């Protein structure tokens, strides 16, 4: 294999004194950051600490107000993302916006530029080939793409439409796309936030291979274990400033958290005992739902939740979690089955009536803003969304919302310059806290929290776990839908495992193991496990 390390004397890129303001918000405050070729470098920081902004500056999306960028020792000024790509910088955003109807190949080839002539690099030859074949022979193009991908251990079928690829495959397409545009500096902004642990592992091996070939990789993640396992060095950002760069092998996770937050914090979940009375709150009976394309999503699903308890829901992505939440909240209508809260039917009621019956939902979709928030409004007005209708008279009550907003901002440490600052401009994590805070403040009987910590920094994640536990202690029944099995086990009292819309069984968190849950997630029912049958 050929090495594409260009010059080991220089870092792959170095950013010096980068400052970026958004209005009054100082997102990056004279940040220094550099990454060596062949290195996987983590960027760590709380929500809103300026990671995405810094990387958007590097990839030419934002222009810095101040500071310099050098790429392979050469001073650069990017006017557009195109300029950055031409300098070998590629960014993989958390959201892949591939053209769904086009095949992976077409997506990759679209917009590819001819490499400079006679550079003699092997990659450039390949790129020229792909471009040459692109208009004539899809089969050959695909073959070339497969050949190229396999160098990094990436596998996907380039002939199927992007819309039919799984999240992790889409990510792969994005990576190949960027690499084929000649990127040797790769930025991944929270690439693992929506991946399953298995998929994340695959990604890591891909990234290691790329690093071995000389790529410089910036890896943004809130998951410390990933950083510890994958990265060589880590740079910590706090409130827009670069605090420190350390070698991962010389530091432990707790120190990192301390550097990130700026003080010592407690990272443990205090699990209170569940309410022994075990009064039933939510009773779901035989729920069956197929979507508009009659793909079955929920399959005769039944379970109950109790007051003063957290019921976890585990399962692979797309296993029916979303549909379950939406059915309970009244957003979709299941074809069969019944939903009762306190023995009262809520199936068929409007979302607003269901809210009034004491059901609150915090669902963080993959695109965060998609549901439940009004992007251009401030926190205040987003708080109103769920409760404005509950007050009498034709006027909205801003005062209550303002008080609540202030309270939520304090409790959840939301970083915002003001109550009226559009939530669209908050960092990803802070946006989520707004939704969660709002739902908790509805004082519900049943609280549904789906993917509530997606994209949250550790500190915030623990804040949320504690908040959920507080709810539990207030005798609220909590339905927690999550991805991280460690957290599910630490946080929940019982865990229900979903697989393709079916209930595979409910296990006791204090006695189960990750392996057991993992097996159930991939289709083995609890009963079968007990009988010793396993399909995995």
Ligand X SMILES: Nc1ncnc2c1ncn2[C@@H]1O[C@H](COP(=O)(O)OP(=O)(O)OP(=O)(O)O)[C@@H](O)[C@H]1O
The residues that touch ligand X, with contacts defined as CB under 6 A, are: 22, 25, 27, 45, 47-53, 415, 425-429
Residue 384, contacted partner among another protein, ligand X, Mg ion, none, CB below 5-8 A by kind: another protein
Of the two residues 312 and 428, which places its CB atom closer to Mg ion in the complex? 428
Q: How many CB atoms lie within 10 A of CB 99?
A: 12
Asked if residue 512 binds Mg ion (CB under 5 A), the reply is: no
Smallest distance, ligand X to C-beta of residue 449, A:
18
Asked if residue 460 binds Mg ion (CB under 5 A), the reply is: no
Residue 289, contacted partner among ligand X, Mg ion, another protein, none, CB below 5-8 A by kind: none
Binding site for another protein (CB under 8 A): 22-23, 52, 56, 59, 61-62, 65, 80-82, 85, 91, 93-99, 102, 106-107, 110-111, 113, 174, 177, 189-190, 330-331, 350-353, 355, 367-377, 381, 384-386, 388-389, 394-396, 398, 424-425, 427-428, 455
3-state secondary structure of 341: strand
Chain centre to alpha carbon of residue 189:
10
Smallest distance, ligand X to C-beta of residue 368, A:
10
Of the two residues 452 and 507, which places its CB atom closer to another protein in the complex? 452
Sheet strands side by side (includes 336-341):
296-306, 280-290, 336-341, 344-345
DSSP-derived pairing of the beta strands 25-35 and 13-22: antiparallel
Residue 111, contacted partner among ligand X, Mg ion, another protein, none, CB below 5-8 A by kind: another protein
Render the burial of 400-414: b for 16+ CB within 10 Å, e for the rest. ebbebbeebbeebbb
Of the two residues 376 and 513, which places its CB atom closer to ligand X in the complex? 376
Secondary structure E strands in 307-394: 309-315, 336-341, 344-345, 359-363
Are 449 and 457 in contact, with CB atoms under 8 Å apart?
no
- Tokens representing 140? 């050959």
C-alpha distances (whole Å) from 171 to each of 150, 162, 212, 316, 477 are: 15, 10, 20, 17, 36
Q: What is the DSSP letter of 49?
A: S
Asked if residue 49 binds Mg ion (CB under 5 A), the reply is: no
The CA-based angle 198-199-205, given to 5 degrees, is: 95
Of the two residues 141 and 427, which places its CB atom closer to Mg ion in the complex? 427
Smallest distance, ligand X to C-beta of residue 101, A:
29
Question: What is the spatial distance between Cα 530 and Cα 391, in angstroms, rounded to a whole number?
Answer: 52
Are 103 and 96 in contact, with CB atoms under 8 Å apart?
no
Q: What is the DSSP letter of 249?
A: G
Of the two residues 38 and 428, which places its CB atom closer to Mg ion in the complex? 428
Of the two residues 73 and 370, which places its CB atom closer to another protein in the complex? 370
Are 322 and 336 in contact, with CB atoms under 8 Å apart?
no
Among the residue ranges 67-75, 210-218, 427-435, 495-503, the one whose residues contact Mg ion (CB under 5 A): 427-435
Smallest distance, ligand X to C-beta of residue 464, A:
14
Asked if residue 87 binds Mg ion (CB under 5 A), the reply is: no
Of the two residues 99 and 212, which places its CB atom closer to another protein in the complex? 99
Question: What is the spatial distance between Cα 232 and Cα 249, in angstroms, rounded to a whole number?
Answer: 7
Residue 47, contacted partner among another protein, ligand X, Mg ion, none, CB below 5-8 A by kind: ligand X
Residue 415, contacted partner among Mg ion, ligand X, another protein, none, CB below 5-8 A by kind: ligand X
Q: HSE of 141 in the Cβ direction (CA atoms, 13 Å)?
A: 22
Smallest distance, Mg ion to C-beta of residue 49, A:
9
**Alpha helix ranges (H) inside 181-252:** 197-212, 224-230
Smallest distance, another protein to C-beta of residue 516, A:
33
- Closest Cα to residue 465, out of 267, 277, 294, 298? 267
User: What are residue 66's phi and psi, to 5 degrees?
Assistant: -155, 160
Asked if residue 52 binds Mg ion (CB under 5 A), the reply is: yes
Size, binding site for Mg ion by CB under 5 A = 2
Among the residue ranges 201-209, 266-274, 335-343, 428-436, the one whose residues contact Mg ion (CB under 5 A): 428-436
- Tokens representing 299? 């399959």
Smallest distance, another protein to C-beta of residue 92, A:
9
Residue 38, contacted partner among another protein, ligand X, Mg ion, none, CB below 5-8 A by kind: none
Smallest distance, Mg ion to C-beta of residue 264, A:
25
Q: What is the DSSP letter of 445?
A: S
Residue 45, contacted partner among ligand X, another protein, Mg ion, none, CB below 5-8 A by kind: ligand X
C-alpha distances (whole Å) from 117 to each of 86, 332, 506 are: 14, 56, 62
Site for Mg ion, rule CB under 5 A: 52, 428
């Amino acid at each position: 294999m050929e090495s594409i390390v260009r010059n080991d004397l220089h870092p792959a890129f170095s950013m010096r004194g980068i400052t970026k303001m958004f209005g009054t918000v100082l997102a990056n405050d004279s940040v220094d950051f550099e990454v060596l070729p062949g290195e996987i470098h983590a960027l760590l920081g709380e929500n809103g600490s300026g990671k995405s902004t810094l990387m958007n500056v590097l990839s030419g999306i934002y222009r810095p107000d101040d500071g310099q960028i050098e790429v392979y020792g050469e001073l650069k000024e990017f006017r557009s993302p195109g300029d950055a790509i031409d300098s070998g910088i590629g960014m993989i955003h958390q959201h892949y916006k591939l053209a769904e109807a086009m095949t992976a190949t077409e997506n990759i080839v679209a917009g590819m530029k001819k490499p400079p002539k006679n550079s003699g690099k092997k990659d450039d030859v390949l790129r020229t080939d792909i471009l040459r074949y692109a208009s004539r022979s899809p089969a050959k193009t695909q073959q070339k793409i497969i050949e190229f991908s396999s160098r990094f251990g990436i596998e996907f079928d380039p002939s199927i439409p992007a819309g039919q690829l799984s999240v992790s495959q889409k990510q792969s397409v994005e990576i190949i796309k960027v690499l084929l545009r000649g990127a040797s500096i790769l930025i991944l902004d929270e690439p693992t936030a929506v991946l399953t642990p298995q998929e994340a592992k695959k990604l890591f091996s891909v990234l290691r291979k790329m690093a071995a070939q000389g790529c410089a990789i910036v890896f943004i993640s809130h998951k410390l274990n990933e950083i510890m396992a994958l990265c060589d060095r880590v740079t910590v950002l706090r409130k827009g400033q670069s605090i420190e760069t350390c070698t991962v092998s010389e530091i432990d996770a707790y120190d990192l958290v301390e550097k990130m937050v700026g003080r010592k914090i407690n990272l443990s979940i205090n699990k209170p005992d569940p309410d022994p009375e075990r009064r039933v709150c939510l009773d779901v009976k035989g729920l069956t739902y197929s979507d508009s394309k009659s793909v079955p999503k929920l399959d005769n699903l039944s379970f109950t939740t109790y007051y003063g308890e957290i019921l976890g829901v585990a399962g692979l992505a797309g296993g029916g979690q979303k549909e379950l939440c939406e059915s309970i909240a009244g957003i979709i209508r299941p074809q069969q089955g019944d939903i009762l809260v306190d023995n009262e039917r809520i199936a068929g009621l409007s979302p607003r009536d269901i809210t009034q019956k004491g059901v609150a939902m915090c669902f963080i979709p993959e695109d965060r803003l998609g549901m439940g928030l009004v992007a251009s409004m401030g926190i205040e007005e987003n708080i109103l969304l769920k409760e404005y209708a509950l007050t009498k008279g034709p006027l909205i009550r801003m005062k209550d919302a303002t008080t609540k907003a202030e309270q939520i901002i304090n409790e959840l440490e939301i970083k915002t310059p003001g109550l009226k600052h559009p939530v669209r401009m908050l960092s990803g994590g802070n946006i989520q806290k707004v939704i969660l805070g709002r739902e908790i403040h509805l004082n519900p009987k049943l609280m549904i929290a789906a993917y509530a910590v997606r994209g949250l920094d550790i500190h915030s994640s623990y804040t949320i776990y504690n908040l959920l536990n507080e709810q539990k202690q207030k005798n609220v029944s909590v339905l927690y839908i999550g991805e991280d099995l460690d957290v599910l086990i630490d946080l929940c009292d019982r865990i229900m495992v979903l697989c393709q819309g079916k209930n595979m069984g409910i296990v006791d968190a204090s006695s189960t193991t990750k392996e057991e849950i993992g097996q159930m997630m991939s289709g083995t029912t609890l009963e079968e496990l007990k009988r010793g049958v396993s399909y995995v």
